[in-house]
């Protein structure tokens, strides 16, 4: 089945009280937009078109950061949801197959629900997603008869009997591509707002003698984000769901309430996650790894048997092989640590490759940035880097090499060599006492 997605993401989100388009506000470590795209991508769509408007360039960039093949089109002016869908017609009108209309600010619609909508298309020309909220409030109501959707009525236009209906409209629509664009082209704007509403295609389809059906989902899937409070509620819902999923999948969370996941976090069975661990985007943790408390991880891979933390930070490009140990107050960025490497504490390794079973002493720093460019440090197998070593990149240390504590290494170190790069110690007898006496005298002479 050929499926294309049309994702509406043109709204400004005035009630967010922000210059940032509402679909770009972070949820689970990524823009809200990415959640809708993630659910849709599970259907393996042949085309994805994101309709942008406010902050079009930034929204388009965010969409392409999710998938570089995503196409975007600008809705300007913004004249309603049917008008937004119509903007995608020049890109998709010759595509054929199925079309799904999603919303960039509705992050929780599941792949399973979207699949049900596509399956319902076997019996209906158009399928609308409905839900039954605890408080129907001012949602549009779905007027149904059996498995047929007769019309969608907005609350302000509904009779008392229609307002009593609990089945409400989510806005998500599935239809054949040609049918969708033909109906959208017929939508008028003879309403108080002067806008073109996608909901009007239901009655237009029925006027053509087409069957219109509906599929239902839990209210939580239709949660839209229009305010900061709704964004906070969405974050809480997302984290609760991901924590439950991790526990169900055999991950130990020692304090689930303080573990924060990103949309794409992957953790293997029998991994252990300590308290107050934050996963940014792009983190994979293999089975049996252990992350101690108060760590921040982003864009990194942690292999089986590795241990991290507490109070460690892994930044994008950090690759930890099996049985690597990264201890407290260690930061790793764009660095590969081979099997069995130990980095105990108080160290920064950036733009580096460390060979297997090498030990990195406390206070080691790879000096990788010269103010303009980044440079790489390469350390061989079974090396021993003494505490407080500054490795001034670009520099290479061979297998079984050592550095003396307190060294500043600016030249390559051959295999099995010991590098000492520090000033010779010179002791001055009695000088410490004389200096302290002089300083105390200066202080005593100062005005009170």
Residues annotated catalytic, as ranges: 345
Report the relative pairing of strands 212-217 and 126-131 from DSSP bridges.
parallel
Cα separation, 369 vs 213, whole angstroms? 61
Cα separation, 315 vs 302, whole angstroms? 12
Whether residue 177 contacts residue 93, with contact meaning beta carbons closer than 8 Å, is answered with: yes
> How many Cα atoms sit within 13 Å of 103 on the Cβ side?
24
> How many angstroms separate the Cα of 377 from the Cα of each of 241, 293, 301, 416?
41, 29, 20, 17
Of 319, 397, 411, whose CA–CA distance to 360 is shortest? 397
Of 309, 304, 274, 264, whose CA–CA distance to 286 is shortest? 304
Q: Which two tokens stand for residue 113?
A: 């629900």
């Amino acid at each position: 089945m050929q499926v294309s997605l049309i994702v509406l993401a043109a709204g400004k989100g005035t009630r967010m009280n922000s210059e940032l388009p509402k679909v770009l506000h972070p949820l689970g470590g990524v823009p809200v937009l990415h959640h809708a795209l993630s659910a849709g991508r599970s259907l393996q769509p042949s085309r994805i078109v994101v309709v942008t408007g406010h902050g079009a360039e930034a929204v388009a960039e965010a969409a392409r950061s999710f998938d570089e093949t995503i196409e975007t089109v600008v809705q300007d002016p913004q004249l309603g949801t049917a008008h937004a869908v119509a903007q995608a017609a020049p890109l998709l009108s010759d595509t054929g197959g199925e079309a799904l209309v999603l919303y960039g600010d509705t992050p929780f619609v599941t792949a399973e629900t979207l699949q049900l909508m596509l399956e319902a298309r076997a019996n209906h020309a158009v399928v609308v997603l409905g839900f039954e909220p605890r408080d129907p409030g001012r949602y549009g109501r779905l007027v149904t008869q059996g498995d047929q959707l007769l019309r969608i009525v907005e609350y302000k236009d509904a009779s008392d009997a229609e307002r009593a209906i609990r089945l409400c409209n989510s806005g998500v629509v599935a239809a054949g591509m040609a049918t969708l664009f033909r109906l959208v082209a017929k939508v008028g704007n003879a309403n108080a707002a002067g806008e073109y509403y996608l909901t009007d295609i239901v009655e237009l389809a029925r006027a053509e003698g087409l069957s219109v059906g509906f599929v239902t989902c839990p209210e939580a899937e239709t949660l839209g984000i229009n305010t900061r409070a709704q964004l906070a509620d969405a974050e809480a819902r997302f984290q609760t769901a991901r924590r439950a999923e991790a526990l169900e999948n055999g991950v130990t969370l020692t304090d689930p309430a303080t573990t924060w996941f990103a949309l794409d976090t992957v953790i293997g069975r029998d991994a252990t996650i300590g308290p107050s661990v934050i996963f940014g985007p792009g983190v994979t943790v293999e089975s049996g790894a252990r992350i101690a408390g108060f760590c921040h991880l982003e864009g990194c891979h942690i292999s089986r048997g590795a241990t991290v933390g507490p109070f460690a930070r892994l930044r994008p490009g950090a690759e930890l092989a099996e049985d690597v140990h990264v201890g407290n107050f260690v930061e790793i960025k764009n660095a590969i640590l081979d099997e069995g490497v130990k980095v105990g504490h108080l160290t920064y390794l950036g733009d580096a490759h460390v060979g297997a079973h090498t030990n990195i002493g406390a206070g080691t720093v790879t000096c990788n940035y010269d103010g303009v460019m980044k440079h790489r440090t390469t350390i061989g197998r079974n090396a021993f880097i003494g505490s407080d070593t500054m490795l001034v990149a670009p520099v290479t240390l061979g297998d079984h090499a050592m550095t003396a504590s307190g060294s500043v290494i600016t030249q390559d170190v051959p295999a099995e060599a010991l590098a000492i790069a520090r000033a010779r110690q010179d002791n001055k007898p009695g000088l410490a006492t004389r200096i302290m006496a002089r300083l105390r005298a200066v202080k005593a002479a100062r005005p009170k």
